[in-house]
A and B are shown apart, each in its own frame.
Chain A
Amino acid sequence: MTINTSDLDFYDIKSKLKTYFRNSGEFEDYDFDASGLSNILDVLAYNTHINGLTANMSINESFLSTSQLRSSVVSHAESLGYSPKSITAARAIVDVSITIPSSAPNTFTLARGTSFFASIDETNYEFFTTENYSAVNDGDTFTFTGVTLVEGKNKLKTFLADSNIDVPYVIPDSTIDTSTMLVNVFPNGTTDQSNAYLDIKRVATITDDSRVYMVRESHNGDYEIIFGDGNVLGIRPETGNVIKVEYIATNGAAANGAKLFTLNEFGETDYVIDVTTTSNSAGGSDIETLQSIKLNAPLAYSAQNRLVTADDYTGLILSSYGAYVNDVTTWGGNDNVPPQYGKVFVSLNFLDGVDDSSKTMVEDMIKSQLTSNLSIMSIDTEFVEPQYTYLELQTFFNIDPIKNTTTPEALQTQVDELIQSYMSVNLNQFNSVFRRSNLLSDIDSFSSVILNSRMDVKVQQLINITQLVADLEEAQAAAGIPFNPYIEQDYTLNFPVILSAPDKDEFVVTTTVFKSDGLNVLVKNELGSTRLQLVDLNGVVRIPNIGSYDPAKGEVFLSALRVDKAGYVGEGIKVSATPANQSTISPLRNYIFTLDSEASTTKGTVDSGVTKVLL
């Protein structure tokens, strides 16, 4: 008789044991909970359950993809040469002006460590300068521009080195931003002369006399500093040396988004202080999540700290600038439209709250710290903005009147929320594919009240008239050209999908209503043709040929379209087109699909289920 004990559930195991006794006939009382035999079976089943659980957990924790404990995930990542990111401090850039009414010196220094405060959601955060800034007296006013503020507190840990003991130096602080660590080794406790040690990740070549350290997250969440072995991996501090580690302890992502900073350092004086924010606080991030480590560690391993393939760029940028960047996509210049050889195109989808100056800073850092050092020579990096293409979903579903206990409108709202949740989770990223059947399947299974559903899908792009007008007027003002009440120019819109061929009954390309020469109009394709026409709201064709669309290229071209500066809804004109394949919509390169909730509708219809004899 074989007892199958592969189950992990206590009751399943006990049930197997009972089956054994049921077949043996030796005892009868195994089914009664209070019997002695049942008590023994409880012990046996519990023991088997614990053993099975332990074995299962051990096996799971042995692999990066299945491990659940942070210590295991970090350990696996380290074996791939990947160091999980610590919590990261938010940074802001401000301009500071200090006016000293009396006895102003010739120069004034905003010292390293000067504190600033900012409030986010009624919580105060302390920011401080990490270097000295000097300004000269200009009419009793000192102006400091581009002052970088870092959120957190500066902390210092002092260790007495002992070269005879091969142990790491532990910093038991989970709020440490390891990228801000400064490690200095003093010969003894009385001298000010010290040797700076560098993070091994920032050093290109290591010899036996290199001064480097490694920092790693330990199994209990502390951080450990390890020095070289004195032979191959650099110098090890001698016994009697004093190791001083300075770092910033931070609140991470919570301090992102601070807009107003106050400088309280000189509160006792009559100084007039003005702080102007150039760049809101951004870049703060919490400790890297397990999911992120599992994603980034294999990518970093395959990249081998070199930028060769598209995935290398994605892996290294995400691992280095994940505090700013939500997603990255990269493609070679040969795949670009039009092709541009000798270039790599990178599109960054920044996190919410990262302002333009921070974006520029990140792009500059990617170029200076990553692509200049690690990419193939003669390959330039070009950044491209993400191109948003909106999806317009017209959803229809039938409602079972017998099971339904709510109104169709309430159900419509619930389905709307379901669609928005689905789109939020599954789209809004590079390379995210929209699959209509998956969404419809979710809608069908959302409630037994929903009998069936269908969906019409359109892709849409926005001609941002507001922005175009602002840019044009700025240029015209600079050149002294008078403004027109309209804007007239060509527009080329590239959809990342093949568009539907012209149909004799349905329009493929349509726009929202706007004013042209004071008349409410819109653009549609001529039925059965790729030619685009300007049509008024009565259906009268005002301009018979205002452009065309190319279904195969997904291109919509509007020629010399005149749009009044007032009279459109929102930011501009929405151009909608029916894709050739509504079931699967895959993005190209830097395109990101997202839902246009305003242009999407959901309609529930009560289906009485009555069959008809005539149509």
Chain B
Amino acid sequence: MAKAFSIEDGNLQNKPITTTIVRINKDIDCSFTPNPTTGDIYKATDANAVRQSVKNLLMTEKGSMPFRPYYGAGLESILFSLSTDLDEDDIEERVRSTINNYEPRADLREVKVSIKPDYNSADITVIFGVVNTTKIVTLGLTIARAR
């Protein structure tokens, strides 16, 4: 007599069920601009969400997050150190380690840093791919002292 087993109990006669989950990056847009039609704030999606996330991460100072003293890139503190104390490689290393540690959706390709001591500023360009997509994002940041 034929017996019927469940899939969990090893019924190999049934074909395996394969499914995929389409995951869309969906975040609040940090500009907090309201949609004129609905009144809700806009959402940042796909590569834009990851781009916004990387920017948030790099602009967060270490120690500013509650209970997470090592979270953030600590770029702000660079502005208040002597230009001879660190070089572009130091900043690049900070950016790389921060993104690798805290943003798994960013596949880091390149980091370019240009320090401008005369202007008390540094230009940082981060190029990364968004994981599971073909999109490449270029994020440019300039950190400079306000006064």
Q: Does A35 lie within 8 Å of B67, measured CB to CB?
A: no
Instruction: Closest A residue to B52 by CB, please name it.
Output: A36
- Judging by beta carbons under 8 Å apart, are B44 and A36 in contact? yes
* Per-residue contact bits, chain B 24-35, to A (CB 8 Å; 1 contact, 0 not): 111111100000
A29 and B26: CB pair below 8 A? yes
Range for the number of chain A residues in contact with chain B: 10 to 19
B28 contacts A33, CB within 8 Å? no
Stretch from B8-16, B102-110, B119-127 contacting the other chain? B102-110
Q: With A27-B43, A28-B26 in contact, is A46–B66 under 8 Å at CB?
A: yes
A154-195 interface with B by 8 A CB criterion? none
Contacting residues of chain A (288-310) with chain B, CB-CB under 8 angstroms: none
**What count of chain B residues pass the 8 Å CB interface test?**
25
Most chain B beta-carbon neighbours within 10 Å: one of A32, A34, A39: A34
A34 lies within 8 A of B30 (CB): no
| Interchain CB contact under 8 A, B28 and A34 | no
Q: With A34-B57, A37-B28 known to touch, is A29 a contact of B49 (CB < 8 Å)?
A: yes
Specify which chain A residues have a CB less than 8 angstroms from the CB of B29 in the assembled complex: 36
**Closest CB in chain B relative to A516 CB, distance in Å:** 74
Q: What's the minimum C-beta distance from B113 to chain A, rounded to whole angstroms? A: 20
**Which chain A residues lie closer than 8 Å to B56 at the CB level?**
34-36, 39
- Whether A28 and B103, one on each chain, are in contact in the complex, defined by CB atoms closer than 8 angstroms, is no
Chain B: minimal CB distance from A23 (Å): 15
Q: Find out whether the CB atom of A10 lies under 8 angstroms from the CB atom of B53.
A: no
CA distance A172 to B102 in the complex (A): 52
Return chain B residues, CB-CB under 8 Å to A355: none
A33 touches B27 (CB 8 A): no
The reply on A491 being an interface residue by CB < 8 A is no
CB neighbours (8 Å) of A36 from chain B are 27-30, 44, 52-53, 56
A11 close to B57 (CB less than 8 A): no
Q: Is the CB of A29 within 8 A of B57?
A: no
- Inter-chain contacts of B43 with A (CB < 8 A): 27
B66 touches A10 (CB 8 A): yes
Complex CA distance for A37 and B25, rounded to whole angstroms: 12
Chain B residues with Cβ under 8 A from A49's Cβ?
A: 66
CB distance B65 to A32 under 8 Å? no
A10 touches B67 (CB 8 A): yes
Q: How far is the CA of A36 from the CA of B59 in the complex (A)?
A: 12
Please, how many angstroms separate the alpha-carbon atoms of A33 and B103 in the complex?
Answer: 7
A49-B67 Cα distance, complex, nearest whole Å: 11
- How near does chain B come to A22, taking the closest CB pair, in angstroms? 13
Inter-subunit contact A29/B102 (CB<8 Å): no
CB distance A37 to B66 under 8 Å? Answer: no
Tell me the nearest residue of chain B to A26, going by C-beta: B26
Bound CA span A318–B54, Å: 65
- Chain B residue numbers with a CB within 8 Å of A34 are 53-54, 56-57, 60, 102-103
The answer on a CB contact under 8 Å between A33 and B71 is: yes
A29 touches B66 (CB 8 A): no
C-alpha gap A35/B71 in the complex (Å): 13
**Are A33 and B102 within 8 A (Cβ)?**
yes
Question: Are the CB atoms of B67 and A40 closer together than 8 Å?
Answer: no
Give Cα distance in the complex from A464 to B100, angstroms: 76
How far is it, in angstroms, between the C-alpha of A40 and the C-alpha of B28 when the chains are bound?
A: 9
Shortest CB–CB separation between residue A8 and chain B, in angstroms? 12
- Give the residue of B65, B67, B103, B104 whose beta carbon is less than 8 angstroms from that of A11: B67
A-B contact pairs, 28 of them (CB 8 A): A10-B66, A27-B27, A27-B28, A27-B43, A28-B25, A29-B25, A29-B27, A29-B49, A29-B53, A32-B103, A32-B105, A33-B57, A33-B71, A33-B102, A33-B103, A34-B57, A34-B102, A34-B103, A35-B27, A35-B49, A35-B53, A36-B27, A36-B28, A36-B29, A36-B53, A37-B28, A39-B56, A40-B28
Q: Which residues of B contact A (CB under 8 A)?
A: 23-30, 43-44, 49, 52-54, 56-57, 60, 65-67, 71, 102-105
* Sample of 14 more A-B contacts, CB < 8 Å, known A32-B105, A33-B103, A35-B53: A11-B67, A27-B43, A29-B49, A32-B53, A33-B57, A33-B102, A34-B54, A34-B103, A35-B56, A36-B27, A37-B28, A39-B56, A40-B28, A42-B65
Task: Report which A residues bind B (CB closer than 8 A).
Answer: 10-11, 26-29, 32-37, 39-40, 42, 45-46, 49
Nearest 10 Cβ contacts at the A-B interface: A34-B57, A29-B27, A34-B53, A28-B26, A36-B30, A36-B28, A46-B66, A35-B27, A34-B56, A35-B53
